[in-house]
Amino acid sequence: MVAAIPIPTFHYERDLISKGFEIIAGVDEAGCGAWAGPVFAAAVILPLHSRIRLIRDSKRLSPAQRMRVIEQIKKKAIAWSVGVASQEEIDHINIRQASFLATRRALENLGVAPQAVLSDGFTIPEISVPCTSVIGGDRRVKSIAAASIIAKVHRDILMEKMDEIHPGYGFADHKGYGTKKHQEALRKLGPCSIHRKSYEPIRILL
């Protein structure tokens, strides 16, 4: 029997509202596991009355579904924003710290200051408001799932542009992840400027 795919809800947002918080942002990142390109993060503040049926963990949606639902999220959100940490920053401070940096940048870019933050899996350090981490948050929390979609779509668009700048690696297809096609291109062409030099598969080639 196939397990049902969980549908994100506003349960965690409502719980924070019951504790006196009014403006709650969900945050998530995209690209931590890739071998090339920056890491993206997004922050989203959704009104509880928003009705966007297709919001799910971005990995559970097709590219066409993500493109369709991101327009609804941006239209109905109180505020949304994106933050980025470059591959150079990833190599300098490591991927976890770079993802935190991208998330802080996303929160700083919001036009509305949140009073609390809901994050997927990790508590975000060095932010000025309370942060609640939720394991599997992109599957369970609506604002986190919305952030996962925005971060994923914006990063995918950038990697498609990188495919034009650095042809031959297949960035438009695998978005910088370590697929067989990517590994074959690396063996043939060697790393390019957007590869993460601190990652073991790239460091070996260098």
Domains and CATH numbers, the chain: 11-205 (3.30.420.10)
Question: What's the pLDDT tens digit per position in 116-137?
Answer: 999 999 999 999 999 999 999 9
Share of the chain above pLDDT 70, in %: 98
Edge to edge, the sheet with strand 116-120 lists 79-85, 39-45, 24-30, 116-120, 131-134
> What pLDDT is attached to residue 1?
40
Residue for token pair 């397990």: 3
pLDDT in tens, 134-170: 999 999 999 999 999 999 999 999 999 999 999 999 9
Q: Does 206 score more than 90 pLDDT?
A: no
Which one-letter amino acid corresponds to residue 46?
L
Detail the residues annotated as belonging to a binding site.
Answer: 28-29, 120
Q: Which residues are annotated as a binding site for a divalent metal cation?
A: 28-29, 120
- 185 half-sphere exposure, CB direction, 13 A CA radius: 21
Question: Taking residues 8-28, what's their average pLDDT?
Answer: 97
